[in-house]
Structure 1
Amino acid sequence: MFNNLTGRFGQILKQLRGQARLTDENIKDTLREVRVALLEADVALPVVRDFTAKIQQRAIGQEVMGSLTPGQALIKIVHDELMIVMGEAAQDLKLDVRPPAVILVAGLQGSGKTTTVAKLARWLTERQKKSVLVTSTDIYRPAAIDQLETLANEVGVAFYPSSTDQDPVFIAKKAVEQARSRLFDVLIIDTAGRLHVDEQMMAEIKNLHEAITPTETLFVVDSMTGQDAANTARVFNDSLALTGIILTKVDGDARGGAALSIRQITGKPIKFIGMGEKTVAFELFHPDRLASRILGMGDILSLVEELEQKFDKDEAEKLAKKLKKGKSFGLEDFRQQLQQMSKMGGISSLIDKLPGISLPAGAAEQVNDRELARLEAIINSMTHQERRRPEIIKSSRKKRISAGSGTQVQEVNRLLKQFSQMQKMMKQMSHKGGLDKLMRGIKGGLPPRMPF
């Protein structure tokens, strides 16, 4: 996430930390580099000007010049101003209304709107413990209605059916009646997307808005479109009062222009960010945490929250007890570890939240969910006997396993090597009292370490 911007800021801040004192000259040089970094990240020019002006105003005062560590003081100012640009504090949804709380979701075609509706429904169900009903008013694309129904089943929420011969306002009103009569806490209404903001789209969604008076009106935008995302949201907001923004495809955005522009351009808060296609890849937007990530300081709070939500402590405890009894770590155990990592968003998602670690361009592709899926597919292609006794996996077996999993023999060799390393690590832990530490770590919410 925002790797290019994080890399540039990392270089700038490294130079700052080495400064014994700050002068007008090196502050000026630093701000010039910050300005270039932000423009390269496709941040809107007015936002860049305002951002650098505020940093300069604070930097030339006693706040920095009077500090014993002026470089660190200036870094704190950059962090604080990044946070202010993005909205200072997390903005939760307004759900304290007479049920059902109606959420209207809009966006351009291709922004990931329908998937976002499912992600939001899942988040409300799992994090807020709300009962959720979803429906689609996209009468122009039958596939959109079918897609939402499929996703609703996947995330375990109720779906109110609609069809292309119905009027969007009629669908929405009937869905509200259904949500009220069946005592749902929240109703999420998906709307038709367009290739661009046009009069027909705005008229239709205005009618919808007036007919149901939603509690929240959220606009979904693709963060990879940079400052264009902010401009699209502004045009939409000029016609219809938004209550918040959801940024999608943040995991593929190496720049960060949308996240840093949208609040200042629209005046509306970013409420959520979506990362990846999986319905679990969805987070409440915390400006302070994202500012820390951009500056390479990590995001430990989000990591801890993710572990608490997705880490299976029971399975980890079973593994620890098994090893404590002297039983060896097997390929079935290794597969469970891979599944745990995948559940938590993959290795790159965890690395992104750890301080002081950033992946160079292209490296994220090598440690993503697809890599974990490939490793799991290799294990799935093995026989029960091969999983129990990996030492019997020789040349002919490797060819059969690679063919069955759609991988290369080299990948099978690499997995067996990684497994061997982890098996040795687990054996050492059992001999050196490390399992007691592992058990304590499990109770504290930390997963067993992976050898990647």
Structure 2
Amino acid sequence: MFDNLTEKFERAFKVLKGQGQITEINVAETLKEVRRALLDADVNFKTAKEFTNTVKEKALGRDVLTAVSPGQLMTKILHEELVNLMGGEEVELKYQGNPGIILMSGLQGSGKTTFSGKLANFLKNKKGKNPLLVACDVYRPAAIDQLHVLGEQLGVEVYSNKEEKNPVKIAEAAIQHAKSKGFNVVIVDTAGRLAIDEQMMNEIADVKNAIKPTETLFVVDSMTGQDAVNTAKAFNDRIDFDGVVLTKLDGDTRGGAALTIKTVVDKPIKFVGTGEKMEALDVFYPKRMADRILGMGDVVSLVERAQEQFDEEEARKLQKKIQKNQFDFNDFLGQLQQIKKMGNVKDLMGMIPGMGKALKGVEIEDDAFKHIEAIILSMSPLERENPAVIDGSRKKRIAKGSGTNIQEVNKLLKQFQDTRKMMKMMSNKKNMMSMMKQMKGMRGGMPGM
């Protein structure tokens, strides 16, 4: 996500490295690189120019404190302006009502139907709502079928009527159905087109006027860059939507849409899609996105994702097992599966400050834990509960069953034992105090300390 932009910003800051003060010359050189980075990211020229002019004005108007280097000050100013460019503060989705009605709009292929499923999942599991999905794409039976597949996967009801060809009538009937059956949020997935046309605009406008949605969202593929911004403007001029959803932000996106869309349509980005999984949906936080663009990571989002998978009762049970040195491969497998639920592994690693740069060019597949899971699942219940019984012949069987080799099995067993020892040590306060004293003693005995 934004790897190229991050790298180019870092290159721009090198101009200020070692400089004792901010001057008009080194600011101009730095911002020339920043402007070039923004244009390469498909930010429109006018926005890029206004942005760098504002940063220049603020940089030259501030005195550099003794404790702050010119590079640090420029990073701070650039961060502030990136946050402002993307909207300043997050804006919440309006889904309250009887029922709340959310209308989707956008071109075909933008990810509207997939996002509708993700949003239903978000409202159901994170907001405690009872959503109803509505299939109003009367031109593509595949879109209706896709919504039904997603609904079944999520345990969310889908309302559709393949015999009816008027999307307004389908939407109105769906809302009546929601009222009678106790659904408190209705998500209406509408038809898209390959390009903007009058028929499409009339249709979405008619649906909006008829059902008077609580929230109208414009869904756009962020990989289309500046085209996404132009399409957003055309839709906003016609239907005056409430917010933007950027999909496929995990792809080979240059970031221009995220950086420009708020300036052009003056509507907030509310969500970003970062993968195919139904959980791969994030509320858009301008500050956190600016952190990631500038290579600062996003620890807050990482912690939030971890908390979503955190079960307090299970954690207590696990703590007791660790203290008794009973942590086994069943527990290890459970922890791996919780990490997987948090999202794409490379995306998670990129949220740790400094890791984005370290991982540049490194391929980390979504199924990075696949071979570890295969080894554990090839163990018998006895072997998972008591790894000490795994001898040479058992290792051969486990390797064969998991499609790996004995070296990989040995490596996992060693990693597991090391992990178990560390967890046991960390759970014991006396051991922790002893370790700290030893470290303190080592430091005290070192020359110059």
Q: TM-score range by the shorter chain?
A: 0.7 to 0.9
- CA separation of 1:434/1:346 partners in 2, compared to 1, >3 Å: closer, same or farther? farther
| 1:233-291 deviation line (CA, Å, top 9, x unaligned) | 11222222111110111112452111111111222110101111111111111101110
Structure 2 unmatched ranges of 5 or more: 433-449
The two structures have a TM-score, normalised by structure 2, of 0.87
The residue number in structure 2 matching 1:157 is 156
Q: Residues of 1 paired with 2:361 and 2:162: CA distance?
A: 43
Check if 1:371 corresponds to 2:372.
no
Shift of 1:341: 0.7
Q: Residues of 1 paired with 2:155 and 2:399: CA distance?
A: 39
The residue number in structure 2 matching 1:417 is 411
The residue number in structure 2 matching 1:16 is 16
The residue number in structure 2 matching 1:443 is none
Structure number with bigger Rg: 2
Which range moves more in the overlay, 419-428 or 278-287? 419-428
Are 1:100 and 1:180, in contact at CA under 8 Å, matched by a contact in 2?
yes
The residue number in structure 1 matching 2:134 is 135
Amino acid at match of 1:398: A
Are 2:95 and 2:102, in contact at CA under 8 Å, matched by a contact in 1?
no
The residue number in structure 1 matching 2:333 is 335
CA RMSD of the aligned region, Å?
Answer: 2.5
The residue number in structure 1 matching 2:144 is 145
Q: Residues of 2 paired with 1:164 and 1:288: CA distance?
A: 47
Are 1:42 and 1:226, in contact at CA under 8 Å, matched by a contact in 2?
yes
The residue number in structure 1 matching 2:199 is 200
Are 1:21 and 1:71, in contact at CA under 8 Å, matched by a contact in 2?
no
Amino acid at match of 2:210: A
Shift of 1:86: 0.5
Q: Residues of 2 paired with 1:231 and 1:418: CA distance?
A: 51
Shift of 1:194: 1.7
- CA separation of 1:179/1:372 partners in 2, compared to 1, >3 Å: closer, same or farther? same
Are 2:323 and 2:427, in contact at CA under 8 Å, matched by a contact in 1?
no
Are 2:100 and 2:185, in contact at CA under 8 Å, matched by a contact in 1?
yes
Amino acid at match of 1:307: A
The two structures have a TM-score, normalised by structure 1, of 0.87
Are 1:248 and 1:275, in contact at CA under 8 Å, matched by a contact in 2?
yes
The residue number in structure 2 matching 1:309 is 308
Shift of 1:434: 3.6
Are 2:375 and 2:398, in contact at CA under 8 Å, matched by a contact in 1?
no
Amino acid at match of 1:370: D
Q: Residues of 2 paired with 1:375 and 1:94: CA distance?
A: 43
Are 1:58 and 1:64, in contact at CA under 8 Å, matched by a contact in 2?
no
Are 2:136 and 2:160, in contact at CA under 8 Å, matched by a contact in 1?
no
Q: Residues of 2 paired with 1:421 and 1:14: CA distance?
A: 40
Q: Residues of 2 paired with 1:375 and 1:134: CA distance?
A: 38
- CA separation of 1:17/1:337 partners in 2, compared to 1, >3 Å: closer, same or farther? farther
Are 2:302 and 2:348, in contact at CA under 8 Å, matched by a contact in 1?
yes
Shift of 1:330: 3.0
Q: Residues of 2 paired with 1:15 and 1:415: CA distance?
A: 49
Check if 1:189 corresponds to 2:213.
no
Q: Count residues in correspondence.
A: 426
Structure 1 unmatched ranges of 5 or more: 403-408, 440-452
Check if 1:400 corresponds to 2:397.
no
The residue number in structure 2 matching 1:405 is none
Kindly, what percent of the aligned residue pairs are identical?
47
| 1:18-39 deviation line (CA, Å, top 9, x unaligned) | 4321111110111011111112
The residue number in structure 2 matching 1:237 is 236
| 1:198-217 deviation line (CA, Å, top 9, x unaligned) | 22221211111111111211
Are 2:378 and 2:398, in contact at CA under 8 Å, matched by a contact in 1?
no
Shift of 1:59: 1.3
